[in-house]
Amino acid sequence: MMAQFQQDNGKLDLTPKRFNMWLIIFSSFMFFAALTSGFIVYIGGKGHALKLTLPKEFLYSTVIIVLSSVTMFMASRAAKAVQFGKQRTMLWVTFGLGLAFFAMQFYAWYVLAFQMHQFLVNPNASISFIYVFSVMHLLHILAGLVLIINSLVSSYRNKPQVINLFRMEMTSIFWHFVDIIWIYLYVFLLLNQN
């Protein structure tokens, strides 16, 4: 395992892995920009607005995801301060908040479909964009949860601190990115809801 991080001179070279993370983030950003651009073109070209008020569960999701960013920040600081117990606790809390976000998104879909009668397949396809935005975002949340588990495993297995910090850095960057993307999507939908 350690060999994948080593160069010939015995030092760790994590630069390619950092670069890969930034490529993933950039391509994800471009993907969500394309989705929202598609939505703008669709509602502009055919005059289809959402014509609904977003369920309050999306606001609750936003609060949950912001809280998870705070706990991820606390986990990163604890890792840098070599406070492994606090790091693990904050990672577990972040993981739990990620699961809570997942559950709230599913509940928001339930409200959309069965209380507001706005199903995925809808004569107004702009409603379908809500589902597409949240499904694509949930896939990114799932990837973030996997990264959190990876950081937890590293912490519990007493990996060298440089590897622990690297995994925390990558997890934190990705998790904050996913949080920012949700806030962007939520504000975007709020501005286009009526």
Length of the chain: 194
Residue at 10 is within a domain: no
Residue at 6 is within a domain: no
Residue at 1 is within a domain: no
Which are the contacts of 177, defined by CB distance < 8 A and separation ≥ 6? 25, 28, 29
Residue at 119 is within a domain: yes
> In which residue ranges of the chain is pLDDT below 70?
1-13, 45-50, 116-124, 194
State the CATH number of the domain containing residue 33: 1.20.120.80
**C-alpha span between 106 and 138 (Å, rounded):** 10
Residue 86 token pair: 């606090």
Residue at 156 is within a domain: yes
Q: Tokens 């699961």 sit at which residue?
A: 99
Residue at 4 is within a domain: no
pLDDT digits (tens, 9 = 90+) for 39-50: 888 877 666 666
- pTM, two decimals, is 0.84
Q: Residue 85 is part of which domain span?
A: 16-41+56-191
pLDDT digits (tens, 9 = 90+) for 3-19: 444 444 445 667 788 88
Residue at 137 is within a domain: yes
Residue at 47 is within a domain: no
pLDDT at 1: 43
Count of the separate structural domains present in the chain = 1
